Structure 1
């Protein structure tokens, strides 16, 4: 009797599992077909600015300043994102000697040219937390003494050309409207509403939630061991491009980082210090660009969509070397804290494009001015 019951129950569970598998496969097939239809080209090669974008941007600035105040420490107002730096280090940015003439624009216009730069490596969160916590990681590069009028500058930033990246190729919102809704929910501590704003399933952003969870990744072994992406598009002369920075260990002396104690709160700074300051071994990277092909689904206004590398492969345009150096001093850490990285500190040939970049222009500048004023620091450079 009991044996028969268990056999019946096992058969029933087996059928339920098969049914669930069939439903899952059907859902996967429908989802794949839907996104293949939705994410099909061609797309516009020009920006498309929504009429309500300015009003949405003002609301985001107010929420960003609210977050800055929530996360301030006892003495200083911190950044609204990427508050914790692993260090600011000197770097050398060298244009490829044999660069394709079609890509010779802006700071890439002179093959073989080397620019001196600052590089800031950071965690993504607005609060300085342990490095072992899952998080995004950021890289900011500031080229120095770049001649020419910039799209946004102060007397202190007039010679700067900035590149701002983090270690995931996609952003978890598509545009300014979704960013405003998502950011407002998170600023109010209602994280569930960030991706599920209502009971209507049509408003749910499950794909974007998955991107957000992928972005909050375990820490790398070292800040110089990650790939960092622009996420949003930019101009490169006449081209629409995305860019990324990848590790290029073959261009530096061989080096194996000793195992770090990842339980320490600042082990990523320790890893950087170990390589550059103790072992005196440089770190090497390559800057690459990906050109938009608007005949395919490579949108300018949706930062949650990857541009296909099969259609538009990345091309190396410059190398970046971080030489061995001493960087972890009180004076340099304070200098690092006062640096401001903004993708609009840029020559017109490198103009940021798309809604998220237009948002950055307003928010980065507003928060930077607010932060420096509250800290009694000179305006950012």
Structure 2
């Protein structure tokens, strides 16, 4: 009997070993096929101009309707919140300083004058449409509004006539490629059918596994502090004659050395607490750098597909300005209400910084419609 059991366990061990080996080989094979496929699919050259597909306007109108549904689903008592990035960690005053020795080719728009200092508001936030606990996996956002910016803007709105906005979140790519996929994905989520967001039907050709992986990476654990992560534009923009993506990175070397005390991450608003600890209690500024990455259309650096990361090996990021968030008190009732009423839109911009690509065209319509709806409803409730 013991010999029989021994032979059985040896046989079972060999079977499991062969099964794991077969699964490993299968996985490596699938990975190799995927790498070869995307290496072929994501090969240049690409267009340096926008390419607007037919039917985009109708899709955009449907997305606006879905966005307003989401806003209403997540009403906070009597106030209507944003359809995304509803929960702010704080709005803080900042200074944006253009590099004094900036490369002449990068002296564009608000960065045209080397050494120029802009006063700004910076809003730091979670990505979700509902104000959830900070420890929940989520995207994190940074929006910057430069003030007293002269010149005609892309959106002829007197309320934003002297503003230049930059809108980012902390992942380099988006989990949809274009407006058509966004419509299908967002409608499924608005209906509470999250599985259908990436698997809309039984046909495997419609599945978006790569984009599901991107979405899961985007829903990351919270950083130690809102000032301790990289924020990316994701979508492309003009930068004078250039097509670029931009990002904001921490630049602690430009500020006094600082070590954030350990935070209680079980608290619902520990990211706000971390920001308050540094700026308001310890009176220590936070520093960043604004960088741009120029498109090289000879390689696969597409304008119309925001799910593709532009290669830093081909086109490294270049610093154009620094940001300094001085020590300050920001967590008061009046300022928090002011923060909630601020509207950030990448189309609040000079023509030199015009947003380009389908997702940015979508943003223009959706941001404006939801912002108007939100402010009108909030005024009615007062």
TM-score by length of 1: 0.98
Q: For residue 187 of structure 2, what is the aligned residue in structure 1?
A: 184
Q: SS of 1:86's equivalent?
A: strand
Shift, 1:17, TM fit: 1.4
Q: For residue 107 of structure 1, what is the aligned residue in structure 2?
A: 110
Distance of aligned partners of 1:337 and 1:153 in 2 relative to their CA distance in 1, 3 Å threshold: farther
Moved beyond 2 Å, runs of 4+: none
Q: For residue 260 of structure 1, what is the aligned residue in structure 2?
A: 263
- Structure 1 residue corresponding to 2:287, chosen from 284, 288, 294: 284
Q: For residue 298 of structure 1, what is the aligned residue in structure 2?
A: 301
Q: For residue 71 of structure 1, what is the aligned residue in structure 2?
A: 74
Q: For residue 199 of structure 1, what is the aligned residue in structure 2?
A: 202
Q: For residue 135 of structure 1, what is the aligned residue in structure 2?
A: 138
- Structure 1 residue corresponding to 2:92, chosen from 89, 93, 102: 89
**Which ranges of structure 2 fall in alignment gaps of 5 or more residues?**
none
1:232 aligns with 2:235: yes
**Which ranges of structure 1 fall in alignment gaps of 5 or more residues?**
none
1:242 and 1:61 mapped to 2: Cα distance? 25
Q: Can you list the C-alpha shifts for 1:15-38, whole angstroms capped at 9, x where unaligned? A: 111111111111111111000000
1:246 aligns with 2:246: no
2:78 and 2:155 mapped to 1: Cα distance? 29
**Structure 1 stretch displaced more, 290-299 or 368-377:** 368-377
2:20 and 2:80 mapped to 1: Cα distance? 54
Q: SS of 2:274's equivalent?
A: helix
1:345 aligns with 2:348: yes
CA RMSD of aligned residues (A): 0.9
Shift, 1:153, TM fit: 3.9
Aligned pairs for 1:30-49 (under 5 A) are 30-49=33-52
Q: Can you list the C-alpha shifts for 1:169-189, whole angstroms capped at 9, x where unaligned? A: 010000000000000000000
TM-score by length of 2: 0.98
1:273 and 1:29 mapped to 2: Cα distance? 47
Q: For residue 271 of structure 1, what is the aligned residue in structure 2?
A: 274
- Structure 1 residue corresponding to 2:219, chosen from 212, 216, 221: 216
Q: Can you list the C-alpha shifts for 1:127-153, whole angstroms capped at 9, x where unaligned? A: 001111110000000000000000014
Q: SS of 2:102's equivalent?
A: coil
2:323 and 2:219 mapped to 1: Cα distance? 26
Shift, 1:73, TM fit: 1.1
Q: SS of 1:156's equivalent?
A: helix
2:105 and 2:83 mapped to 1: Cα distance? 37
2:18 and 2:266 mapped to 1: Cα distance? 46
Q: SS of 1:284's equivalent?
A: strand
1:329 aligns with 2:332: yes
